[in-house]
Each structure stands twice: as structure tokens, then as C-alpha cells.
């Protein structure tokens, strides 16, 4: 693994931290490879119920390391050269979209370009009041290549997405909240505490049910209503036979908090 990505588990919560604070967590190929691997690892780990993605230092992720690219190094450094095989199956935005564990973005600072797409790819975003989203793609001669063209219209509607993408204007945390790009904005010094509390609230629920819900919501984005209802019913049958369902019913009858095992 690499020091450019920290992976920590605390109880049922796994935290992935982009770790190049001296470069505002600008992305490298090594960082992205580690991010995909750790996302898959957390998704497969039965002890993990929630995944948190954040950045070290003052920024979340400044996107592509433009200094490396300008020097002909790193991602984007071979402009004008040969293009390799186009295969994004293991790219972080694709992996992030496919994991069934709920993902929370602790938006601790500025998220630009690729970093913005990573943030939007999470299920829930909690932003520090100092955080910003910078969709600067058009200002750098590229487009939102990491899921932004798919995510933005679904989050804010076509017209707002077009304005955000075409202008490339930086959005403050409060503007993001008003647009629905983040779930809540909190004081920067309380961000970790607020994200932890939300993650623990989610983790206290039946993990199989939470993951099935996320899976069905994801499928519904490309299905008819009738098809999704059918798939939801098929997901419901094994849940009825789970120990967690039995525990949930017993806890309700006994008027106590349930103790879910993920089985």
C-alpha cells in the first residue's frame, strides 16, 4: 500500500483519508489505485458497516496534480502521446458507485475537479463551513471525467448542472447546501464529530437492510418502477429469513434497542 492513502477502522466505521496535505491531496495514480483497493476491502469486510472518505490537512482533494502534469509526469503527463487501453472498471468513481456499504464524505476543505466528483460520488456529504466545490474542468480544458456528468444532473437537475459545469464557478459550502450538493454544513472544528455521529447512527441499523436499500436505489436509477418493485421484492425475501429481521421484531416488541449482527 501507500502512505498517500490512510485506511483506519474504528468499530464498524472505516475511514479512508487522502493523504498528500502538502499538495492539498492532489491525486496520483498510486493514490487512486490504493483508493479502489481499500474501497473494495471495506465493502467486503463484514465488520465494516459505513465507509467515510475525507482528506488530510486543509483540503479534501484539489484534483489532478497539475504541476506533475505540466512537467510531463503523473496522471495527464503524457498529453499528446499514445493512449493506452481504455478500461475504467477499477477506477475509484466506478468502484465508489458500486460498493453496497453506505459512503459518507467528510468534506473538510476544497474539492476541485476529480476531488469534486469523488465527493459527489459518496451517498452523503457533510461539509465544513470552510469547504468549497470547484468544478473547474472547463477552465482547464477538460470535462468532468470522473462521474460528474452523470451525477450533477441527477443531484440538482439539468439547468443547475449546466450552469455549474459550464461556468466552472467555485461554490461555497452554503451555496452547495442550497443546491442540495451537500446534506449539511457544520463548523469546521465539529466536522469529525458530526460525521462520526451520523456514521454511528447508520451503523446501528441492520447492515444487510441498509446495503440492500442502497443497492435497490442504485438500480432504480436505470429501471422502470415496475422492474424496481420486482427486484425489491426479491431482495426482501432473504431479509425476512435473516437473524437481523428476527432481532428487529423482538427489539420492537420488547421496547429496546436492537443488536444487529449482519446475519
- Domains, the chain, ordered by start: 5-203 (3.90.226.10), 207-254 (1.10.12)
pTM above 0.85, yes or no: yes
Arithmetic mean of pLDDT, 15-22: 96
Percent of the chain whose pLDDT exceeds 90: 81
The whole-number pLDDT of residue 76 equals: 53
Arithmetic mean of pLDDT, 50-55: 98
Q: Kindly report, residue by residue over 92-135, the tens digit of the pLDDT.
A: 899 999 999 999 999 999 999 999 999 999 999 999 999 999 99
Q: Is the pLDDT of residue 57 over 90?
A: yes
The whole-number pLDDT of residue 81 equals: 47
Q: Is 41 exposed, middle or buried (0-12, 13-18, 19+ CB in 10 A)?
A: middle
| Reduced DSSP (H G I as helix, E B as strand, rest coil) percent helix, strand, coil of the chain, to 5 | 50, 15, 35
Percent of the chain whose pLDDT exceeds 70: 91
Q: 89 pLDDT band (50/70/90 cuts)? A: confident
- Beginning with the edge strand found earlier in the chain, give each strand of the sheet holding 50-55 in spatial order: 5-10, 13-18, 50-55, 103-107, 124-128, 184-186
Average pLDDT over all residues of the chain: 91
CA angle 36, 200, 253 (to 5 degrees): 125
The whole-number pLDDT of residue 143 equals: 81
Which residues lie closer than 8 Å to 161 by C-beta, 6 or more apart? Answer: 152, 153, 155
Q: Is the pLDDT of residue 71 over 80?
A: no
The whole-number pLDDT of residue 170 equals: 96
Task: Return the higher-pLDDT residue of 64 and 53.
Answer: 53
The answer to which of 24-28, 39-43, 105-109, 171-175 has the lowest mean pLDDT is: 24-28
The whole-number pLDDT of residue 99 equals: 96
The whole-number pLDDT of residue 137 equals: 84
* DSSP three-state, residue 116: helix
Amino acid at each position: 500500500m501507500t502512505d498517500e492513502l490512510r485506511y483506519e477502522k474504528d468499530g464498524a466505521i472505516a475511514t479512508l483519508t487522502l493523504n498528500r496535505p502538502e499538495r492539498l491531496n492532489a491525486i496520483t495514480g498510486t493514490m487512486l489505485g490504493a483508493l479502489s483497493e481499500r474501497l473494495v476491502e471495506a465493502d467486503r469486510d463484514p465488520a465494516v458497516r459505513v465507509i467515510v472518505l475525507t482528506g488530510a490537512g486543509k483540503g479534501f482533494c484539489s484534483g489532478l496534480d497539475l504541476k506533475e502534469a505540466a512537467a510531463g509526469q503523473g496522471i495527464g503527463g503524457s498529453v499528446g502521446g499514445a493512449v493506452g487501453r481504455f478500461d475504467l472498471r477499477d477506477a475509484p468513481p466506478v468502484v465508489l458507485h458500486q460498493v453496497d456499504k453506505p459512503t459518507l464524505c467528510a468534506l473538510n476543505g476544497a474539492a476541485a475537479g476529480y476531488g469534486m466528483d469523488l465527493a459527489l460520488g459518496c451517498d452523503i456529504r457533510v461539509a465544513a463551513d470552510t469547504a468549497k466545490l470547484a468544478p473547474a474542468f472547463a477552465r482547464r480544458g477538460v470535462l468532468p471525467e470522473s462521474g460528474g456528468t452523470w451525477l450533477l444532473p441527477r443531484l440538482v437537475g439539468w439547468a443547475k448542472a449546466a450552469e455549474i459545469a459550464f461556468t466552472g464557478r467555485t461554490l461555497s459550502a452554503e451555496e452547495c447546501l442550497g443546491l442540495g450538493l451537500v446534506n449539511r454544513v457544520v463548523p469546521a472544528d465539529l466536522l469529525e464529530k458530526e460525521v462520526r455521529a451520523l456514521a454511528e447512527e447508520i451503523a446501528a441499523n441492520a447492515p444487510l437492510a441498509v446495503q440492500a436499500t442502497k443497492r435497490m436505489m442504485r438500480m432504480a436509477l436505470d429501471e422502470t418502477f415496475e422492474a424496481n418493485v420486482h427486484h425489491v421484492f426479491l431482495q426482501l425475501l432473504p431479509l425476512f429469513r435473516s437473524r437481523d429481521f428476527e432481532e428487529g421484531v423482538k427489539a420492537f416488541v420488547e421496547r429496546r434497542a436492537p443488536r444487529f449482527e449482519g446475519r
